[in-house]
Amino acid sequence: MKAYLALGSNLGDRMNYLREAVKRLNQLPGVQVTKQAEIYETDPYGGVEQDNFLNSAVEIETTLAPFSLLESIHQVEASLNRERLIHWGPRTIDIDILLMDGITMDEEVLTIPHKELTKRSFVLMPLKDVYPNEQLLGKSLDEWMNETGNKAEVRNTNESW
């Protein structure tokens, strides 16, 4: 099944952390990265003072169930020195499950579609690069981005993978 993941980094060599995350995702059993979005620089979200983020998104093909995929993603984050010290705080890498084909769930540790997806242009803009469906939850990705009020905070870096 196809799944869509958001990636972000704002500590250290941000670009290298994004590259390493994609490489390590591709090495997971049952996961293959099939598309990579452009790389965007964004202002931090959530009120914690910190450096700007590099954000992107990937499409993957996976045989993993949602909780198994989440566990594997957490292993990739840990291997890249992700520490969960401050909610919405700085991080070497952050990988979130945004969407999984045909799956809707709302559990304490995992919500699909991601519960903040439609509020964040820094997630929607890269998702638009890899997500083939123009509609998401009854609106186009452009409509959702226009409603966020934070679209101007997302800038294409023209970095290459």
Active site residues: 82, 91, 94, 96
Distance between CA atoms of 24 and 5, rounded to whole angstroms? 13
Residue 159, CB-side half-sphere exposure with 13 Å CA sphere:
18
For the chain, the 3-state helix, strand and coil shares in percent, each to the nearest 5, are 30, 30, 40
Paired residues of 99 in beta bridges? 4
- DSSP code of 102? T
